[in-house]
Structure 1
Amino acid sequence: MGDGLARALWERYEPVHDLVYFAPEARRAADGLGLRGFWMGYFALRAAPLGPVPAPVVTSCFYVFHPDRVGRALPDAWAYAAPADVLAAREEAMDAALTRALGPDAATGGLMAEAADLAWEAAAAADTAGRVLGAANQALDRPRQAHVRLWQALTTLREHRGDGHVAVLVAQGLGPVDAMVLKSAAGESDATLLRETRKWDETAWRAAEDRLRARGWLEEDGTLTAAGAAGHAEVEALTDAAAEQPWTALGADRSARLADLLEPLVTAVLGTGLIPSGNPVGLTGVRRASPPAGTAGGTGTGRG
């Protein structure tokens, strides 16, 4: 489409998806399965569509996490709960979280059903060739409840976009830490939060900064050069372009209708205060309380 619709929709569906990271219902669901600690719950809840995969597969798909961060959670999580049980608990958690955030009337009303069906159609039409997380989520059964169906469809679209973003980063020669340094230098997230939550040490971070300086993208003070700003803009533009296909399939008018339907939902979700400022997904327009210790966030435009 090339009209900014892919990014406009991402800005609306990302906060709704992110409830799975920040809503207390998600943490209670993970705890109820016997998963140990925030990070085991995070990796299990997000990776469950892939099946009982080992840590290296998730490290590759999620891109920006240190292998040790993933390896402390997987495959041990699957000894506590099978992926099918994790998926069922995830649906229940999102049912409760969305009902609380939106109110029972909005969660079950006609506009929710319309939004859910439009999003599901776009997600079902998404080309998932080479997009492992998008494909795994697309293959899940259609939830009966409209608000849960909407959440799952938006999650499929979100992971589809994230898979495309990783492909862009690889093509641009930006490794996991390089991508996070670029994100923080662009003001999309906090450098310390990214480094510590993704479990990279300062040596790895400085090495990535040196690589970006060597290609002329980073100033000595850690800010972007003009070339770095242009490189960052190109990564974002290519990510948007790679995310357009589901919206082209849905059509401009129906995609715009979905964006309109999502607007009050994202306002309600942001109004809960659950999505923190400085969040790792790059939603710079979100201005909320500081993130609680140990929070994760997901990919968005930064696969992280």
Structure 2
Amino acid sequence: MTSLARRMFELLEPVCMVTFAADECNEELAALGHRTYWDGYFASRAAPLGRVPAEVVHAAFYNFADGEVARHIPSAWETIPPEESVAARGRGSAASLRRILGPELAGSRGLARAADLTMKAATSAPIEGRVMYAGMRTLPVPSDPVARLWHAATMLREHRGDGHIAALVGARIGGTEAHVLDALAQGIHPPESFGRVHHLPKERLAEVMAGLRERGLVDEEGRFTEAGRETKRRIEALTDELASAPYEALSPTETDELIAELEPITAVLVASGSQ
């Protein structure tokens, strides 16, 4: 089941990535009045949590630097209701999928079946300890198959993300430290140049690297030690394990059918970079 969770992540992540890589979602959010990409990102992704303070969003998202969330929440909701932002996110993401996939694939029976099976998995997991996933579960399920596929994939992405945070907390790896480990796993060196952290103050990055060295996870050159590589492996393995519950709702036949229907969809999205 763990290997299935990893396979489903590989198949569904390109579906979710249109939200961040393609233009339509940003255009929908800008049309509402969001001034910047990050205003729209925080307002629409956090919207299912309700009008919670920045501290709650910071805790739920986990991997943003101190103060980043507060620059956008709650100000991004002051003139634009959260419900409108999350609806715009869904509309834009579905529009991106339709454009990239083309009318034949977007309107196919295979995509509709994939949407139904993905939604069956996405609505079958326990919500306890899954803050972002639980928020997504409160939203209405779209009737349109393309929108439903995106919605279900995003629910599963948030479910996996909640589990990943639990794995990071258990390993005592903070949000910035997690980005450093991801950079090293991708072969990026120095890891401080990684796009998710390079903008942070040099003093903060130096503090993070010093802490990882002190724990024996990176060496003096800022590269993985064996202990660091093993820590990253354990985190990813536990993330897969914690992400497996939704797929227990599918029979072996349904699982095979879902994979078969998603493969051509994912291939098109990967070829386009989800944009």
1:52 Cα offset (Å): 2.1
User: What corresponds to 1:262 in structure 2?
Assistant: 262
If each structure's helix is expressed as a fraction of its own residues, which one has the higher value?
A: 2
Rounded to whole Å, the distance in 2 between the matches of 1:29 and 1:188 is 35
Evaluate the alpha carbon distance shift between residue 55 and residue 145 of structure 1 in structure 2; reply closer, same or farther with a 3 A threshold: same
Distance 2:23 2:151 in 1: 18
Cα distance between partner residues in 2 of 1:253 and 1:49 = 33
| Equivalence for 1:148 | 147
Amino acid at match of 1:247: Y
Residue in 2 that maps onto 1:18: 17
Partner of 2:230: 230
Are the counterparts in 2 of residues 52 and 82 from structure 1 also a CA contact under 8 Å? no
Could you tell me which residue of structure 2 aligns to residue 210 of structure 1?
Answer: 210
Tell me how far apart the structure 2 counterparts of residues 51 and 111 of structure 1 sit (CA, whole Å): 34
Residue type at the aligned position of 2:197: R
Task: Give 3-state SS (helix, strand or coil) of 2:34's partner.
Answer: coil
Q: Does 1:132 align with 2:134?
A: no
Distance 1:250 1:201 in 2: 46
Counterparts of 1:188 and 1:236 in 2: how far apart (Å)?
16
Structure 1: gaps (5+ residues): 276-304
In 2, Cα distance between equivalents of 1:229 and 1:252: 33
- Closer, same or farther in 2 for the Cα pair 1:98/1:274, shift >3 Å? closer
Cα distance, 1:274 vs structure 2 = 4.4
The reply to whether residue 245 of structure 1 matches residue 234 of structure 2 is no
Contact 1:49 1:140 in 2 (8 A): yes
The CA distance in 2 between the partners of 1:128 and 1:62, in whole Å, is 16
Matched, 1:56 2:55: yes
| Corresponding residue number in structure 2 for 1:200 | 200
Shift of 1:127: 1.5
Paired position in structure 2 for 1:98: 97
Superposed CA RMSD: 1.6
C-alpha contact (below 8 Å) 2:17/2:274 kept by paired residues: no
Unaligned runs of 5+ in 2: none
- Which letter does structure 2 place at the counterpart of 1:183? D
**Bigger shift: 27-36 or 67-76?**
67-76
Provide the rounded CA distance (Å) in 2 between the counterparts of 1:33 and 1:108: 28
Q: 1:288 maps to what in 2?
A: none
Percent identity of paired positions between Structure 1 and Structure 2: 39
State how many pairs are aligned: 272
Contact 1:55 1:67 in 2 (8 A): no
CA distance in 1, matches of 2:256, 2:187: 25
Q: Does 1:75 align with 2:77?
A: no
Aligned AA (2:213): R
For residues 141 and 188 of structure 1, the distance between their equivalents in structure 2, rounded to whole angstroms, comes to: 40
Q: 1:101 to 1:51 in 2, by over 3 A?
A: same
Q: Matches of residues 119-198 of structure 1 in structure 2 within 5 Å?
A: 119-187=118-186, 191-192=192-193, 193-196=195-198
Shift of 1:266: 1.6
CA distance in 2, matches of 1:234, 1:91: 33
Q: Which moved more, 1:186-195 or 1:85-94?
A: 186-195
Instruction: Note the C-alpha offset of 1:191.
Output: 4.1
Aligned-partner residue type, residue 200 of structure 1: L
The alpha-carbon deviation at position 200 of structure 1 amounts to: 2.8
Which SS does the other structure have where 1:162 is aligned? helix
- Tell me the residue number matched to 1:280: none
